[in-house]
Structure 1
Amino acid sequence: MEQLGFDFGVEPQPLIKVTPARLSLYDDCPRRYRMTYLDRPTPTRAGPWAHNTVGAVVHNAMRELFGLPVAERTPERASVLVSRHWRSAGFADAVQVARYAETARRWVADYVEAGGADADVVGLEQWVSATVGSDPAAPSLIVEGRADRIDRRGTELVVVDYKTGRRTPEDADARRSRALALYAVAAGRTLRAPCSRVELHHLPTGTVAVAEHTADTLGEHVREAEETATASRAAADRLTRGGDPDRLFPARPAPRCAWCEFRPSCPEGRQAAPAARPWDLLTPTT
């Protein structure tokens, strides 16, 4: 006997898998997004940047530090971990390398000295994932990625993101950060605990920028992520069907073109700003 069923002639759309980094990149510059994720072979990239080296070293040292018992998270151990992970890519010379190695050691040691190492950590570079959408009954996205750190405070979780850049973050930056908001949603789902607080920890200054999200503010970030993800997938689909890559993924020239890794492959970017030197974005030392 033939089974009865319903067919409304509507093909369900597959969920779009995204990370906060992919979404941010598409919003900033669709061409850079295409060159990063879609073009094969990947276009020529610029060499390493010293500020990225410092950021990676500090993140690696902090990850290892917070994997230790609280009693072992000392300023001395933090400094040693920076030395263990240190790299010299992108710096001007050996003098600059030595200066920033010492600066990075001081940043993490001061962080610990100020009491930042007492956290109850439940995730280090934790992979988190959640199925979300502006309509809870019909989710459209799988949001996933690695959060720098997830703390437990009482019954709730807090997403922590380390920063080492030149600019000191403010609470408004934490509130506007789509990445932190999506990590909060995904952390809550993955670890099965409430998560509404997100923090930016700026190691050069010791500043902690904080945002306390509500269901409405998290929902707004999800809605914006959905719009970006839908637009990027539509453009990628048209590209697959033979669309013009430069029309579908246009460049968005801006001052940041000075340090874009795809500058060698982007005429508009080269015209937008003079090339930065690999060490120009380092946070000034004191």
Structure 2
Amino acid sequence: MTSTAPPAPTVRRPALSPSRAGDFKQCPLKYRLRAVDHIAEPPSRAAARGTVVHAALEALYGLPAAERVPDSATALVDPAWDRLVEDSPELAELITAEERTEFLDEARTLITDYYRLEDPTRFEPESCELRVETELDDGVLLRGFVDRIDVAPTGQVRVVDYKTGRVPSALRESKALFQMKFYALVILRTRGIVPTQLRLIYLANGTILTYEPDEGELRRFERTLSAMWKAILSAGETGDFRPNPSKLCGWCDYKSLCPAFGGTPPPYPGWPTDFGTEDAVLLEEVASEVSE
């Protein structure tokens, strides 16, 4: 009798996602603590609400177009929360049973507000929550998850990202646009076309921001990402991930570990030979893209 060993977990090459690239651009130490040390940030109510809303909108577009009415959409909120808690039981402590109704009502309000901005019964997205990946000419691997991609009958492509917060300051808007350019570059590399429009939908105050990239801009952005990855690898060899204090530090959960604020980072664990198993990394990346 022979036995078959279970397949070994798939190990993936280190890659840049929009969130991790944004981390390094904002603060190399933040990148290290997140991507190398894997120090988890405390769960937040806002991030949990964002995940629920994203999941409900993804499920909404799984329905036939005629059924994508507001009542159907808001009915998807409770099942989305139940799935989230099943995957991340610690969230049951973040949102207590007493707070659950209020929390889910907040998510339903955001879903209802979405209908003031778009009518989901009138178009068919090509994809929702699509995992995208491409390798640049110099070997840099880009990877991420796109909320929604729309393709017009004429072939024009629109990239859509939902934000459950309000329209940000210019500094934080720049971070959101960086993420969208990342997705646009991946589409250019994988499909050979420049997206006609990048659309950021801010549900909390009912605002849509749009941007029209051009190929020259995306090619320059590609060189920026390549240079960034070289800088990350260089820092990884030495452990020299320096803090970069800015106005965004006020929202950072790593201040207690930052020398700029009197903290001390943990001993550098060394550059990882892998970034974990396939499933673990996918879950981490999805959570990061949704929560920002």
- TM-score normalised by L of structure 2: 0.71
Note the C-alpha offset of 1:65.
Answer: 1.0
Q: CA RMSD in A?
A: 3.0
**Structure 2 equivalent of residue 109 of structure 1:** 112
The equivalent of 1:198 in structure 2 is 198
- Quick one: distance in 2 between partners of 1:82 and 1:191? 34
Establish whether residue 145 from structure 1 lines up as the match of residue 144 from structure 2: yes
Q: Which residue pairs with 1:278 in the alignment?
A: none
Deviation at 1:32, TM superposition (A): 1.4
Q: Which letter maps to 2:30?
A: R
Q: 2:249 aligns with which of 257, 260, 284?
A: 257
d(CA) in 1 for partners of 2:92 and 2:226? 36
Aligned residues: 240
Aligned to 2:52: 57
Letter in 2 for 1:142: L
Shift of 1:83: 2.2
Does residue 73 of structure 2 align to residue 78 of structure 1?
yes
- What are the Cα deviations for residues 180-210 of structure 1, in whole angstroms up to 9, with x where unaligned? 1121121244356552321101112221111
**How many Å separate the matches in 1 of 2:177 and 2:186?**
14
Larger Rg belongs to? 1
Identify the structure with the greater strand proportion. 1
1:4-45 deviation per Cα after TM superposition (whole angstroms, max 9, x unaligned):
xxxxxxxxxxx9832211111111111111112223xx44x4
Tell me: higher relative CO, structure 1 or 2? Use CA pairs within 8 A at least 6 residues apart: 2
Question: How many angstroms does 1:119 deviate by?
Answer: 3.1
Deviations 1:85-127 (A, max 9, x none): 2366686877765434223212212323553313321111111
Q: How does 1:1-286 map to 2 (within 5 A)?
A: 17-39=15-37, 42-43=38-39, 45-86=40-81, 97-112=100-115, 114-117=117-120, 118-132=122-136, 138-153=137-152, 154-168=154-168, 173=173, 177-191=177-191, 194-237=194-237, 239=238, 245=239, 248-266=240-258, 268-269=260-261
User: 2 CA distance for matches of 1:219 and 1:188?
Assistant: 9
Greater alpha carbon shift after TM alignment, 180-189 vs 83-92: 83-92
Change (3 A) 1:46 1:143: closer
Matched letter for residue 227 of structure 1: A
SS of the residue aligned with 1:145?
A: strand
Task: Tell me the amino acid that sits aligned with residue 195 of structure 2.
Answer: C
Q: In structure 1, how many angstroms separate the alpha carbons of the residues matched to 2:124 and 2:95? A: 39
Task: From the superposition, tell whether residues 105 and 35 of structure 1 become closer, same or farther in structure 2 (CA, over 3 Å).
Answer: same
Distance, in Å, in 1 between the alignment partners of 2:105 and 2:259 is: 38
Q: Is the 8 A contact 1:124 1:149 kept in 2?
A: yes
Letter in 1 for 2:74: S
User: Take 2:262 and 2:161, find their aligned partners in 1: how far apart are those partners?
Assistant: 31
> What amino acid is aligned across from residue 47 of structure 1 in structure 2?
P
- The CA deviation string for residues 201-230 of structure 1, in whole angstroms up to 9 with x for no partner, is 111222111111111121222222222111
SS of alignment partner, residue 250 of structure 1 = coil
Tell me what 1:5 maps to: none
Verify the 8 A CA contact 1:158 1:199 in the aligned structure 2: yes
Letter in 2 for 1:79: T
**Equivalent residues of 2:95, 2:103 under 8 A apart:** no
2:3 corresponds in structure 1 to: none
Mark the runs of 5 or more structure 1 residues left unpaired by the alignment. 1-14, 133-137, 240-244, 272-286
Question: In the aligned structure 2, how far is the partner of 1:229 from the partner of 1:111?
Answer: 36
2:162 partner amino acid: Y
- In the alignment, the residues of structure 2 paired with residue 231 and residue 63 of structure 1 have an alpha-carbon distance, to the nearest angstrom, of 36
Distance 2:221 2:176 in 1: 9
Change (3 A) 1:176 1:76: closer
SS of equivalent residue, structure 1 residue 231: helix
Instruction: For residue 264 of structure 1, report the CA deviation from its aligned partner.
Output: 4.3
What one-letter code is carried by the residue in structure 1 that aligns with 2:16? V
